[in-house]
Structure 1
Amino acid sequence: MLKEREYTLEKMSIIFQVLLSLGCFTLVWWSANFSAVVPIESIHELNNSLIFVALLWFLLLEQFGLGKMVRTSSYRQLFVAYFKLVSIGVAFLFVINIISGYEALNVKTLVLFSVLNLVVLTGYKNFFFLIMRFFRRRGYSIRQILVIADQGSEEYIEKIIHTKDWGYNIRGIMSGCKTINSKYKDRYKMIPERKNLKEVLDRETIDEVIYCKTDYNHDEITRFILECAEVGISFHHYTGMISKVHGKRIRSSSFSLINQLPFVTYMTTPDNYAGLKIKSAFDFFFSLVVILLVSPVFILIAIAIKLDDGGPVFFKQERVGLNGRRFYCYKFRTMVANAEALKASLMGQNEQEGPVFKITMDPRVTRVGRFLRKTSLDELPQFYNVIRGEMSVVGPRPPIPSEVEKYKRWQIRRLSMKPGITCIWQVSGRNDIPFEEWMRLDMKYIDNWSLAQDALLILKTVKVMLVGTGK
């Protein structure tokens, strides 16, 4: 995932900067020829010049590493790098002008282009870093990491700390080194090395584990990899040692770079970075459109609930999301106002196995609630959770904390993907499916995730809503 993310973002950044440079050149050229009648030959010269600019700037941006999205240099160093790039690029264009005699590449045009391009490219990169910092400080797309370190890991920890633009937040440092503990105890949560990693992963919200010990222990690394894989958490270890781990629980392993440091990454979750970003973008815009289109339905449902028993329109409940993150999930209220208080007296009628509670003819459900559940309209407010980034349109259903506490260890891996409004379980029988099979269907979704599968599940969900098979 890290390797693909870095590669994808770097290429996208380079292409965007090339487009900015082409825009700068075109703007300068048209400004110089705005009031004149432009012959067709000049248009051909412009087109050929733009091809030269695109090729040169693409190669130079890659050569200078200016496509990287992590800020590892000062603003002055960044300006110097772009100054060198523009100077070399314009020098090549000047040579092409001497050879070809293109008027489009005359000295005046090149000078104006170089100044504008330098300002635009440095402005773009600095603005990007400011935007990234703005969102990171507000907690958007933050990856919570656990660092496993020893006395030789200080350099690695410092480098990880300085990858702020990637959105890493050190949740804790597991180490038995007094020097490491002394240096970082005031900044980060220190976890004793003797602590069981399983317990730490179960208790803390951890997205990735980074093992940067210099004193490698093959058996320890292998055990940690399997323990992380069991609950769907990515594991990275420094490539000073390659650990060979096999098994169905390990989805893939690959080389990655974390702030120029080479790591081997093991993961059991989808690693299609571009596809997951498309999924996130789709979630946001699809949910926004749904809320806007069905807003009249929202109003009608709210009126019906109020007329039915006069209680609250919405039901808010704490749920567990991605890798243990807690959030409040919203639904239209389908039960009596004191439904949670009545739950204890109905536990003997529970029809589901495992930690979940389901009754086919639940006496707590209101008249309007039965219709909303049958048509799944009670789930509509969860599109608000999707817009907030807490849920996805498609993904394993978000459980309540008390259910997660009773999960078997292999079932925790269903939290390794963002929870969704619908998934395989919703379109395959829902309450008629035993709990263990429900969990296995969620694992099947995670292990075989694709955009095509999401699209198919959305279509099947619409069919379920129209047929009205909900309970």
Structure 2
Amino acid sequence: MSAVESALPTALRALPVPTLTAVAPPLPLVRELTDARVSPRSTPTLERRLLWERRYVRRLRFTDAAIVLLATALTPVFQLLLVAPGVLIGDPWIVARIPALTAIVWLFVLAAFHTRDREITGSGATEYKRVAHASGLTFGILAIAFVVFQLQGIRAQLIFAAPIGLLALLIGRWSWRRWLHRQRRFGHYASRTLVVGSRDDVEYVIRTLQRDGQLGYLVVGATISGSAERSITVDDMSYDAVGNLDDVARTANELGADSIIIASRPDADPEYIRRLSWELEGAASELILSSRLADVAGPRISLRPVDGLPLIHVKIPRFEGGRLALKRTMDVAAAAVALTLFAPIALIIGIAILLEDGGPVFFSQSRVGRDGREFRILKFRSMRTDAEQRLTALLEANEGAGPLFKMKDDPRVTRVGRILRKFSLDEVPQFWNVLIGDMSIVGPRPPLPREVRAYDGTVSRRLYIKPGITGLWQVSGRSDLSWEESVRLDLRYVENWSVMNDLMIMFRTAHVMVHPNGAY
């Protein structure tokens, strides 16, 4: 016995000495507290998603670097060949290093503008906008720097590298996007997606995603609230209906889904989204909230947290001002160029029309333009001269959607007219309508007066801007689309048009002319 113990009273020595195990919490509680403090780790599903994203970004990064380096390095060669050797003036040490400096700044700004973010690559115009803005800022910075420091040699980069490099960058991004779309047809490079919500909202989301299989979301299942159905069918395609709203995280894990789209949430559970996001940490890459408002107003929606309160802002569209002036300037320039380039082809088309039946070359018809103003549209005549008189007898055979009249095998169409319609060459004279201000290059389809009389208040919004020779309707299926789908596409364009979107539609129009779909 120690001296301390011998000094204690006998009664105190008899008391039991508490041990560590007597005051420690039970082992399961220790494990629970430990698990709560460990940050979530990535699951194999999430790692698979991140792997293909990194692979695609590496491809874009390598292509961008190769294009920028070539464009800047070859600029002195272009300058010597196309201008004159004597133009290369200034400090040789500086001039020799201008291509390297330009390339470094260009690649840095491309990265700073997040031009390779997964959210913008693969679809939409944002990727192209960021590449264009980053390239413009690059040469703006360099030009200012050379002026401030009184340096020479940047002029050649501005003249040659800027336009050639930007064009090559856009073509490179477009080429990789085409490759990505081909891969997604086989389910590669796409997010395995679980759609959650009420039946109507789930069907709406799935139908939108499968309408264009290039959006990058591969639906692997659906969780339908308040339904015991085992499957859901959307446009002849069946999807498994699994789980319920309380075990979405577990269902996503079982299906190997790395993205969850909430088509609608329980109204009685305002904390549902936040709780689900916590459950998905480490197991999924995206939790996406779907809203039908975004179908038309998508580009005008922004999220702005105000003192912790997330507010969704919807910018009200405007149909006047500087943007329309810019659109008009682009229309005049494009129409003038198109009329000049198509002049020889127009002469051949006119001769072919005359030789077939001797009738007039052009067809003029009343159409309704912006603000309900009527104008005379010009086309190459593709029908017989008595086409309007024979229309009444063919109304019962109408295959068009809504108030449109369309027939795949319209007996009024001439042999030359079928060729013109197939490749949209009958619409070439409409560039004259663009030049004089009746139409735009890109816009809604120009309707007939009888069609406008059948419009309701919603469809009449198509008349807020000038009709176009081409548009979303023309490059998305044309006459094969339903009336509702045609209206949806036109309204989306009317409220959200931009110069970059117009350029993309023009580019897609060229592809549609070579590979016609729905043209009759």
**Do both proteins adopt the same fold according to a TM-score greater than 0.5, normalized to the shorter chain?**
no
TM range (shorter): 0.3 to 0.5
Structure with larger Rg: 2
Q: TM-score of the superposition, structure 2-length normalised?
A: 0.39
What TM-score do the two structures reach when normalised by structure 1?
A: 0.43
Highest relative contact order (Cα 8 Å, sep 6+), 1 or 2?
A: 1
